[in-house]
Amino acid sequence: MLNFLKYVLATIVGMLIFSFVGVLLLIGIAAAAGSSDEVTVSSGSVLELKLNKPITERDPDNPLAELGFSFGSLSSSDGLDQIKASIRRAKNDENVKGIFLNMTFVDAGLGKLEEIRNELIDFKESGKFVVSYADVSTEKAYYLASVADKIYLNPMGTVEFNGMSSEMFFFKRLLDKLNIEAQIFKVGTYKSAVEPFFLEKASEANREQLNSFLNSINNYQLKQIAESRGIAPDVLEDVQDNLLVRDPEDAKKYKLITDVGYFDEAIRFMKDEVGLNEEDKLELVQLDKYKKVKGVGEISTSKNRVAVIYAEGDIVDGEGENDNIGGRRFADAVREARLDDDVKAIVLRISSPGGSALASDVIWREIQLAKKVKPVIASMSDVAASGGYYIAMACDTIVAHPNTITGSIGVFGVIPNIQGFLNETMGITVDHVGTGKFSDMPTITRPMTQEEQQIMQHQINQVYETFTSKAAQGRNMTQDQLKEYASGRVWSGIEAKQRNLVDTYGGLEEAIAIAAAKAGVEDDYRLKELPKRKSLFDEMFNNMGAQTKEQAIKAELGQFYPYYKLYKKVQNLQGVQARMPYELNLY
């Protein structure tokens, strides 16, 4: 036995030493990556944008990204901020002659796509070219490519151009098989986040709102494509509705592309544009390299600041992580900007479907205090719905894209009852002893009594009244007027503006310009980004702990691990939620 313990101890010590050495190696690699020389670009270069990584609001502060390492929220992704900055820099860089869109699949929301597309349109005003090539082009990728001067599609390729759809999964039958009951509490006819737990298909109200905002967004994007390609919108709509583009020649016939051709033909065209011979090499500069290039006139010495607070991900209680919106951490960020005399205005950049009602209200309060002393502007990205709208509604001005998804002013709560699962599937029974009849409320190991259900629904109703009252105050309308647009209904940016839920169209730059103008510092400010993000090594060690815990649970539960994962998903919805009805993926 003693020898066994010695071997175990030796193994543990060896693993610790190995981990320590590994961390030292990573630190050395990170230091080497961070101390690289300034990047220079040779004359006649072309900026190549593949956009084949997930696009987030901010570029991840990960010095190991180029080597493929990722930890926690520091995943391999591209920041919208750096993509736009690179396009803007390339416009004025005399060494860059054009942009090459070498894309197939673009992992970004519609708001981010809109801002990249607008930057490409602005880039073309310099007289430089934009060329696109794809073997296969998804609808999102084509929306960007449609601004190009030349669009090449592989002769064996396809371009997706059949409109938008939303696919939803429903779990009622699964929960029935597992003997799990989802006890639902909500306010709002259109608040359909809980439908997957008690229905087998979408309700009529949910179908109504989906049809409405999907058509609104699709019609807007068709109009933008029609303008870029010089096609009548009604013709383009007919092409889409009847799936008239079924092969590359169809795409050329209906003017979606300019050329059916191969990659080398796109390269040859750009060589001609740059003035190279056929045997010369075209210098393609990757985004990861070009975003390290320092532009001329990008450094300001102004003391004035406009704080940009990036709120991306689910809204959660507590501190949260880099990839979500912790109520306490973001309230601290707003407070920091409010108390900083150098910060003359605040822009709240929101890309969130919502989440915790409590955390949303904590952030809302700090925004209310901040707007008393300096301008606070909301900039909506892909989605700013439910809790995302909650934190926007306190701002002086709300800026959104026409294809932003917003609204969803409603509240819900889910309390799972897993008594049947424990009894029938696991063979476990649970007994309760308490000091009063409500002492174990809420519990997931028994069904709620009628009185407990009434208490829970009353709490949900109170949160909804608070939500709509504050929204009405922020939007300068009566609560009854606001409720006409609430009930959990989701709107496109166009629909929201028509109902006075947002003020104007635009992206982050427009919101920053509005904030600077209101503060009287239009041409004399620098940006301050908040909140401060966790370092690479904080993320690395935190993620290691989480992975170790998850692996231990999986090994212990074996075949029951999938049930545990489902339970955790439902448990995360426990309590009062101001969240969009679904995770929306548009195809």
Active-site residue set: 191, 386
In the chain, the amino acid numbered 463 is V
587 is written with which tokens? 């195809």
193 vs 417: CA distance, rounded Å: 18
Phi, psi of 277 (to 5 degrees): -80, 165
Phi, psi of 441 (to 5 degrees): -90, 130
CB of 323 closer than 8 Å to CB of 73 = yes
Largest Cα–Cα separation, the chain: 87
254 is written with which tokens? 């209906």
Q: For residue 337, give Cα distances in angstroms to 308, 330, 384, 572, 578.
A: 9, 11, 21, 31, 25
Secondary structure of residue 272 in the 3-state scheme = helix
- Provide CB contacts within 8 A for 95, sequence distance 6+: 41, 42, 43, 44, 45
Q: Which residues pair with 351 in a beta bridge?
A: 312
Please name the helix (run of DSSP H) or strand (run of DSSP E) that holds residue 471, with its range, or none.
Answer: helix 450-474
Sheet holding 411-417, edge to edge: 181-187, 411-417, 576-579, 354-356, 315-316, 325-326
Burial class of residue 336, CB neighbours in 10 A (0-12, 13-18, 19+):
middle
83 vs 60: CA distance, rounded Å: 12
Secondary structure of residue 122 in the 3-state scheme = helix
216 vs 499: CA distance, rounded Å: 14
CB of 387 closer than 8 Å to CB of 149 = no
- Count of CB atoms situated within 10 Å of the CB of 173: 9
Residue 152 CA, distance from chain mean position: 29
Beta strands per DSSP E along 353-501: 354-356, 376-385, 397-400, 405-407, 411-417, 490-492
Bond into 531 cis (ω within 30): yes
Q: What angle do CA 22, 26, 32 make, to 5 degrees?
A: 145
92 is written with which tokens? 């004025």
Q: What share of the chain is helix, strand, coil (3-state, %, to 5)?
A: 45, 20, 35
- Provide CB contacts within 8 A for 112, sequence distance 6+: 55, 57, 80, 351, 381, 382
